Amino acid sequence: DQQVKQNSPSLSVQEGRISILNCDYTNSMFDYFLWYKKYPAEGPTFLISISSIKDKNEDGRFTVFLNKSAKHLSLHIVPSQPGDSAVYFCAASDGGSQGNLIFGKGTKLSVKP
């Protein structure tokens, strides 16, 4: 049973517009959430994170929103750029000392010029 779900395998957005990537989770013990970006033939790279004590975290063009009651988080990219085209993974941690991450299946974002 998937604990972290990304229900949209792909998303296509026009350059300059907003990209919204969604993620749902089932485990209420998760208290730290991360987004990773992955280009083909490269390893995932950390993008942005949010602790469960917050509902929003912003870093430049990237903002992550967390709705704990709905067990839902989203990544907003504004404005979207062609270089943002990649696979985006949502991940969650239960905050234990091990730091194990549970990943979603990813959403492939295509930003068209």
Partner 1 sequence: NAGVTQTPKFQVLKTGQSMTLQCAQDMNHEYMSWYRQDPGMGLRLIHYSVGAGITDQGEVPNGYNVSRSTTEDFPLRLLSAAPSQTSVYFCATSRLGGNTEAFFGQGTRLTVV
Binding positions for partner 1, rule: CB under 8 A: 4, 6, 9, 31-32, 34, 36, 41-46, 49, 51, 89, 91, 93-106
Q: Toward partner 1, which CB reaches closer, 4 or 21?
A: 4
Q: Toward partner 1, which CB reaches closer, 7 or 14?
A: 7
Cα end-to-end span (Å), the chain: 38
Phi/psi at 94 (5° precision): -90, 5
Q: Toward partner 1, which CB reaches closer, 60 or 113?
A: 60
Q: Could you tell me how far CA 45 lies from the centroid of its own chain?
A: 12
Q: Toward partner 1, which CB reaches closer, 41 or 113?
A: 41
Distances (CA, A) of 74 to 42, 69, 92, 101, 113: 23, 14, 13, 17, 23
* Nearest-approach distance from CB 38 to partner 1, in angstroms: 9
* Nearest-approach distance from CB 20 to partner 1, in angstroms: 19
Q: Identify which of 42, 48, 111 has the alpha carbon closest to the alpha carbon of residue 83.
A: 111
Going by the DSSP 8-state scheme, the letter that residue 100 receives in this structure is: -
* Nearest-approach distance from CB 113 to partner 1, in angstroms: 27
